[in-house]
Structure 1
Amino acid sequence: MLALASLSGAADAAWAREGAAFADLAFLGGIAVDDDAREAARDLVARGREEFLPEDPVAFVEAELAALSDAPIRPGMNVRSATVDPLREAAAICARHDAVVEINAHCRQDELRAVGCGETLLRDTARLERYVAAAADAGATVSVKVRAEVDGVDLPTTARRLSAAGADAIHVDAMDSEPVVAAVAAAAPDLFVLANNGVRDRRTTWEYLGYGADGVSVGRPSDDPAVLRRVARAVDAWECRSAGDASTLRGDGEVPG
């Protein structure tokens, strides 16, 4: 399975359609959905970063997902929130559109960490479990975006706890610790594992799939058809080797284990 990873201020419905010829899933966003996260996003914009800052973030989630209702790609929405209730509302919208809600426990910008988003959420597993449970209770397929190499965070243990809380998938930015994907996959066999970071070609794709990832995602070059074509062909070749054992998130409302 090939996914397109969210790109701040760029990953919208139009971007997802451009990648639909190659990918199975596109994570739109990230979108800040509560007041604290939105204030942090405004601070990021003030220092030159691109961010989605619509007047009504909930309406943005609804409109962007609706715009992909006839697209040959399953949408997801990467959500940042310092509080649970706005996340739950976004998850309910995702559920109505058969979209994946992705809880952002990944971003490391100081502004987001200061309000309890991103990497700060990853460091507080009990709080992250509450986010997962709320999103799952809203009926959504739930992914959690995480990163490796965060001091004090044991990703395999975190993955087990997120699975127990109701997560369906874990989206791992492996940083420079690619073997962590194998540890996560072994620790939480019921989670669909997406691997991210440096996915560009057959070598990088097969490395992650060889570690036990169920799929890979492409981030920064997700608007480059040449990269997407190489990765899509690599995924297809791996799946042929695996005699159909690999599964996808495309459109069936389920995340296989």
Structure 2
Amino acid sequence: MFEPRLALASLSGEADAEWAKQGAEWAGAAFLGGVSLDEPTRAAARGIVADRDRSEFLPADPVAFVDRQLSALSGVDVRPGINVRSTTAAPVREVAAVAAEHDAIVEINAHCRQAELCAAGAGETLLRNPDRLVPLVEAAASAGADVSVKVRTEHAGVDLVDVAGRVEAAGADALHVDAMDSESVVADLAAATDCFLIANNGVRDEASVREYLDFGADAVSVGRPSDDPAVLERVADAVAASRRQKGQSAD
């Protein structure tokens, strides 16, 4: 899906094309966003901006914004992705068609735990309601884009392995897993799915990289320190070293 096997994880209101360019020296992929696509998620994002000290992407036209951002990465040696939030399938399909034109990955956000977005029926609430998550994945896949689903562990009442199987059947190519403090769940998902597995949370050094890759992750991602060249260089070196030891290509 991308090489090297290090991704930059989306950061609300911060992860744009310029951010991706800054990390492209070390990363194989960069997930821009998240971008709220439909009115329920956009209203939630506006509430987050108004009520709390958080930034959000709130362009007048989210689809045109995605097109501009992906176009800005043309010629940059990093595979772009776009993390999107939606409660409805139509705008996901529209963005996925744009992403396909740019060879970008569409990432369905079933991860965000902000109260406003959860109240709107987006983010991690989709893990409890996979019947609402599956149509979003199907919509993105139907447009010809590669599809990732970002999920989190430690969500009460959620069988993440079951969710993974359902989104894979719906057309997901990748799972981007925020492992929280349950890193071994990555091994459960690796055993249960053929999806490309990207492990996230606490990826900072050789030990964290090795742990996730030994659990069966295909790649790792860096979130908050994704603007820190020292962290990215350290993680990139650890990924390359681990793959060399396993006899895999690090190119």
TM-score, with structure 1 as normaliser = 0.94
Q: 1:157 aligns with which of 142, 146, 162?
A: 162
Give the drift of 1:15.
0.3
Structure 2 unmatched runs, 5+: none
Q: 1:123 aligns with which of 120, 124, 128?
A: 128
Report the counterpart of residue 97 of structure 1 in structure 2.
Answer: 102
Aligned-residue sequence identity (percent) comes to 64
Distance 1:107 1:124 in 2: 14
Matches within 5 A, 1:44-193: 44-46=48-50, 47-188=52-193, 190-193=194-197
Question: Quick check: 1:23 aligned with 2:10?
Answer: no
Distance 2:109 2:230 in 1: 28
| 1:197-236 per-position Cα deviation (integer Å, ceiling 9, x unaligned) | 0000000011000000000000000000000000000000
Q: 1:40 aligns with which of 41, 44, 69?
A: 44
TM-score, with structure 2 as normaliser = 0.96
Give the drift of 1:181.
0.3
Off by >2 Å, runs of 4+ in structure 1: none
Q: Which amino acid aligns with 1:163?
A: E
Question: Quick check: 1:199 aligned with 2:206?
Answer: no
Distance 1:38 1:129 in 2: 21
Distance 2:171 2:107 in 1: 13
Give the drift of 1:156.
1.2
SS of the residue corresponding to residue 118 of structure 1 reads coil
Question: Quick check: 1:7 aligned with 2:4?
Answer: no
Report the counterpart of residue 226 of structure 1 in structure 2.
Answer: 230
Distance 2:206 2:92 in 1: 36
Number of positions where the alignment pairs a residue of Structure 1 with one of Structure 2: 246
Structure 1 unmatched runs, 5+: 249-257
Give the drift of 1:245.
6.1
SS of the residue corresponding to residue 55 of structure 1 reads coil
RMSD over equivalenced CA pairs, Å: 1.0
Q: Which amino acid aligns with 1:198?
A: G
| 1:131-155 per-position Cα deviation (integer Å, ceiling 9, x unaligned) | 1111100100000000000011111
